[in-house]
Structure 1
Amino acid sequence: MPGKFSVAIVGAGLSGLMLAIALRKFAPDVDFEIYESATQLSEVGAGLSLQERPWSIMQALGLESVLKAIAGGGEKQSISLSYRKSDQAEGISIDDIKLMETSFTFHRAALQKILIEQVQSTHTIHLRKRLASYAQSKDGPIELRFQDGTTATCDLLLAADGVRSAVRASMYSQLADAASTSGKADEAAELRTYVEPVFSGTIIYRTIIRLDDLPEEAKAQPVFHKQGMTLYCGKNKHLVTYPIYQGQSKVLNVAAPVTIAGQEGTIHPGPHTASVSKEELAQYYAGWEPDVQELMKHVDGALKWVVNVVKPLPTFVHGNVALLGDAAHAMTPHQGAGAGQCFEDAFLLAKFLARPEVTKDTLSVTLKVYDEIRRPFSQKVAALSRMSGKTAHFDTPEFADLTEEQSASGTTLSLEQLRENVAKLKELGDWRLNSQVGEDLSDALRKLDAALGAS
């Protein structure tokens, strides 16, 4: 029996996979197809941490037990954070904080593998389907046009195709064309600036250190036995480490963000990812404290990731088309919140589409409510993440005159100044502790019901 309407999910990354799982559970009367541009599904990435908000979504989807099985020892009832000033010969312990917040750490590839298996148990993911554009008419279905010359149709197009979203490019090109036709040249020019992502000004080097493979003399080093998250901070760069499990093996996840001065908001020419030598990574941390030098000694190369972001969009929706995940709000990773925000988009959309009152005729109204709720929230998180990076890098107005050389001297900043900076970092992340997905969902459903009643 046909569903009440048809959905096309473009993109089979974390957002698209989570959306498919959520639709299957909450909206079984909705037909959906998944289209992915890659020739094969592969699991990539390093460490990923889920706190209470995204974890509550996993519980609602019935994924708790299967994900706990791959978390290994990664389940924590509290989060220990250790902050250090490290861009100097002798590091300074600034503060140690314990947040009473449940956290699960995973190897990203292991999490993605589980989600792929969940989806493929009931649905086919159509591979080699790179979207070129789409067209929607007033009364007919949306037509998807793929680069291989094939087409497909749907009643609702949900774009989970990442930071370089083809759907976002098509959406904002169409909005710009409409503005231009109406004689609004300035508005059209502004709309076209949302087609491509922009460079955040940060490059992150990601790697892992396999603790079982360390030389015996290194295994005794305390830096490899820290159980929580450690932030080694310095001017224009920092380093984050925390343990994760890869199968039964414990590894140390290492993320090293570096600010490229004056580049934020530009278009990066690429390439946007590349494998690099340990020497390229280590050069940025020359002269840093001994613990950091010990880490650099035992990394085995790294993945260089140019962090591109999506500028705050004026809308996530147009007609019966909606953006979610990185296609809508790709952000910096300084709060570890990007994946969680993707999951929240998918969860809310699935819950909305499951409502009996949501039909083919009310899809556009439903998407407007999704936009009103998820756009300001996710964009606020993106802004907080950006500020967290700047704070960790001493790149806020109060440190505008601080040079890397002055910071490396270890005498320019007092311990009081450093602790004030850490307090700001903590405050920037307090939103996770002061809100719950369940309460937000209840409010969202009330707004949806009101909008549908008025339509």
Structure 2
Amino acid sequence: MSNDKKMRLAIVGGGIVGLTFAISLAKSGTQNIEVDIYESASAFGQVGAGMGFWPRIWESMRLLGLEEDLKPLACSGKPFRYTKGDQQQYVPFGQSHSALQSFHRTDILAVLLRHIPTYYHTHFGKRLVSYTDSPEGPVVLAFKDGTTASCDFLVGSDGIKSAVRRTMYERFAAGAEDLKEKGRLLAHVKPTWTGQYVYRGVISTEDLRKAMPDHPVLDGPIYFAGKNKYFICYPVSNGASINCGGLISHPDKNGTLHGEPWVETVSQDELRAEFPGWSPYVHAVIDLIKEPSKWVINSVVDLPTYTSGNVALIGDAAHAMTPHQASGAAQGVEDGLLLAALLADPLASAATLAHVLRAYDRVRRPFSQDVLRRSYECGAAYCFQRGAFAGNDDAADGKGTLESLEALSGYINGLLEWTWKTSSEGDRNEALEVFRGLVGA
């Protein structure tokens, strides 16, 4: 960013997306940005367990100088195998065309914290309530503890319940004269339910090896698919643990609102009852998940913009998506990389910040929303809601031809191919071209 006066940047949300954005800024060579990171918790931490990196996002980790630290923590390096698991003898029907490197989120967080510059300011116990923004003055942040802070530029990486998104869209709605438009804008304040739940758990690899030595997950990640549900297993923590998830889908509920709590601990019997008659390999894993957690899968769909004034949304705040392509956090990382590249351009300044944000929104919004769509479609395919299985309940009792299963595998890989065939570098270059065009360079 040009000129001598430092621009004050506030990052609200210190999860994986917020921290990788901070690292992106430092690595991009921006000299005139003063960074404050505001985190609502008392320390940096991550909810959840497994996280995957496809080749496209692994390239970003390399660019950020994180590859060598992450390599020893990575698991698998093998393709995902697709199987029909809603019967006693599971049926393999394909695999991903590329490998997914899998991690435990806490391992990734530890690496990120080692790369955060010491000259960045971090503030804990700061839960944002709202902000005010005007063309004439700074952005003023109001926190739950009664304190305030100001900045020249605010980036909201505060997750699916984002207070930054809520404030932005409530302000948009307040300025709308048409009642329908007002309602449309307010609909973006809250995330919508996808109609899906996922039961999650992490088990010991050694415990599973003792209980079922021939379990296929011991040889790499695997999906067990069935009608309106699937079960996934893949190694994390350098192979010491296995991340497990049982997904239940009610497609008719997609787009509705779900009350809180969105996460709760449930009984092992509840999880077991969701998969009657499924492969013994599924139940062997369920038997080891002593306290499953049940998560409501919500999504932030089709925001008309990720920016307003001197404020931008990144990560789940902008495009929270289903986990079916293992790309939600990775898309947030790409948001930050692209935004940091724009801010590092010699033509970027406080005076051209509006053009920076236009370029960011123009490139990142359509791409991330396409990934969001693809992720939902992948989940629908894993749940036999696409292809020859669409509307066909026979799939639930072991029926379905191998030909139709293989066609489904091809459809899934078509949805996923961007993760191994494309590079985020092209998007950054495009955004820089858009920005330079906007400033007349």
Structure 1-normalised TM-score?
Answer: 0.92
Deviation at 1:184, TM superposition (A): 1.7
Q: Distance in 1 between matches of 2:4 and 2:142?
A: 23
Q: What letter is aligned with 1:177?
A: A
Please name the residue that 1:50 is paired with: 53
Please name the residue that 1:7 is paired with: 9
Please name the residue that 2:434 is paired with: 447
Please name the residue that 2:396 is paired with: 408
Please name the residue that 2:197 is paired with: 203
Does the alignment pair 1:69 with 2:63?
Answer: no
User: What is the aligned-residue identity percentage?
Assistant: 37
Please name the residue that 2:80 is paired with: 81
Deviation at 1:119, TM superposition (A): 2.2
Q: Distance in 2 between matches of 1:222 and 1:365?
A: 54
Please name the residue that 2:421 is paired with: 434
- Summarize the alignment of residues 354-433 of structure 1 with structure 2, pairs less than 5 Å apart: 354-396=344-386, 398-403=388-393, 406-411=394-399, 413-433=400-420
Q: Distance in 2 between matches of 1:112 and 1:7?
A: 22
Tell whether the 8 Å contact from 1:43 to 1:113 is kept in structure 2 after alignment. no
Q: Distance in 1 between matches of 2:273 and 2:4?
A: 59
- Summarize the alignment of residues 294-309 of structure 1 with structure 2, pairs less than 5 Å apart: 294-309=284-299
Tell me the alpha carbon deviations over residues 164-211 of structure 1, each in whole angstroms, 9 at most, x when there is no partner: 1000000000011011xxx32211111000001111111111112202
Report the 3-state secondary structure (helix = DSSP H, G, I; strand = E; otherwise coil) of the residue aligned with 2:408.
helix
Please name the residue that 1:240 is paired with: 232
Tell whether the 8 Å contact from 1:4 to 1:359 is kept in structure 2 after alignment. no
Give the direction of change, closer, same or farther, for the CA distance of 1:91–1:149 in structure 2 (3 Å limit).
same
- Summarize the alignment of residues 248-327 of structure 1 with structure 2, pairs less than 5 Å apart: 250-327=240-317
Report the 3-state secondary structure (helix = DSSP H, G, I; strand = E; otherwise coil) of the residue aligned with 1:84.
strand
Give the direction of change, closer, same or farther, for the CA distance of 1:242–1:279 in structure 2 (3 Å limit).
same
2:97 to 81, 96, 99: 99
Please name the residue that 2:37 is paired with: 34
Give the direction of change, closer, same or farther, for the CA distance of 1:271–1:2 in structure 2 (3 Å limit).
farther
Does the alignment pair 1:18 with 2:20?
Answer: yes
Tell me the alpha carbon deviations over residues 38-70 of structure 1, each in whole angstroms, 9 at most, x when there is no partner: 233234321111112211111111111111232
Give the direction of change, closer, same or farther, for the CA distance of 1:299–1:70 in structure 2 (3 Å limit).
same
Tell whether the 8 Å contact from 2:298 to 2:321 is kept in structure 1 after alignment. yes
Does the alignment pair 1:222 with 2:215?
Answer: yes
Give the direction of change, closer, same or farther, for the CA distance of 1:324–1:224 in structure 2 (3 Å limit).
closer
Please name the residue that 2:157 is paired with: 160
Report the 3-state secondary structure (helix = DSSP H, G, I; strand = E; otherwise coil) of the residue aligned with 1:8.
strand
Q: Distance in 1 between matches of 2:300 and 2:411?
A: 25
Give the direction of change, closer, same or farther, for the CA distance of 1:35–1:206 in structure 2 (3 Å limit).
same
Q: Deviating runs (4+, > 6 A) in structure 1? A: none
Q: What letter is aligned with 2:232?
A: V
Q: Distance in 2 between matches of 1:41 and 1:440?
A: 30
Report the 3-state secondary structure (helix = DSSP H, G, I; strand = E; otherwise coil) of the residue aligned with 1:445.
helix
Q: Distance in 2 between matches of 1:188 and 1:398?
A: 41
Tell whether the 8 Å contact from 2:387 to 2:408 is kept in structure 1 after alignment. no
Report the 3-state secondary structure (helix = DSSP H, G, I; strand = E; otherwise coil) of the residue aligned with 1:433.
helix
Deviation at 1:321, TM superposition (A): 0.7
* RMSD value, Cα: 1.9
Unaligned runs of 5+ in 1: none
Q: What letter is aligned with 1:232?
A: F
Deviation at 1:423, TM superposition (A): 1.0
Structure 2-normalised TM-score?
Answer: 0.94
Deviation at 1:442, TM superposition (A): 1.9
Give the direction of change, closer, same or farther, for the CA distance of 1:238–1:415 in structure 2 (3 Å limit).
same
Tell whether the 8 Å contact from 2:6 to 2:34 is kept in structure 1 after alignment. yes
Report the 3-state secondary structure (helix = DSSP H, G, I; strand = E; otherwise coil) of the residue aligned with 2:312.
strand
Tell whether the 8 Å contact from 2:194 to 2:251 is kept in structure 1 after alignment. no
Q: Which 10-residue stretch deviates more, 33-42 or 148-157?
A: 33-42
Q: Distance in 2 between matches of 1:52 and 1:373?
A: 21
Report the 3-state secondary structure (helix = DSSP H, G, I; strand = E; otherwise coil) of the residue aligned with 1:351.
helix
Q: What letter is aligned with 2:12?
A: V
Deviation at 1:222, TM superposition (A): 3.2
Tell whether the 8 Å contact from 2:321 to 2:328 is kept in structure 1 after alignment. yes
Q: Distance in 1 between matches of 2:17 and 2:5?
A: 22
Q: Distance in 1 between matches of 2:209 and 2:67?
A: 36
Tell me the alpha carbon deviations over residues 107-137 of structure 1, each in whole angstroms, 9 at most, x when there is no partner: 1111112213432744332111111111111
Give the direction of change, closer, same or farther, for the CA distance of 1:224–1:442 in structure 2 (3 Å limit).
closer
Unaligned runs of 5+ in 2: none
1:188 to 182, 186, 198: 182
Tell whether the 8 Å contact from 1:211 to 1:224 is kept in structure 2 after alignment. no
Q: What letter is aligned with 2:203?
A: I
Q: Which 10-residue stretch deviates more, 364-373 or 300-309?
A: 300-309
Q: Distance in 2 between matches of 1:234 and 1:446?
A: 45
Q: What letter is aligned with 2:51?
A: L
Deviation at 1:16, TM superposition (A): 0.7
Give the direction of change, closer, same or farther, for the CA distance of 1:361–1:142 in structure 2 (3 Å limit).
same
1:173 to 153, 170, 180: 170
Q: Distance in 2 between matches of 1:4 and 1:215?
A: 56
Please name the residue that 1:118 is paired with: 115
Report the 3-state secondary structure (helix = DSSP H, G, I; strand = E; otherwise coil) of the residue aligned with 2:252.
coil
Tell whether the 8 Å contact from 2:18 to 2:157 is kept in structure 1 after alignment. yes
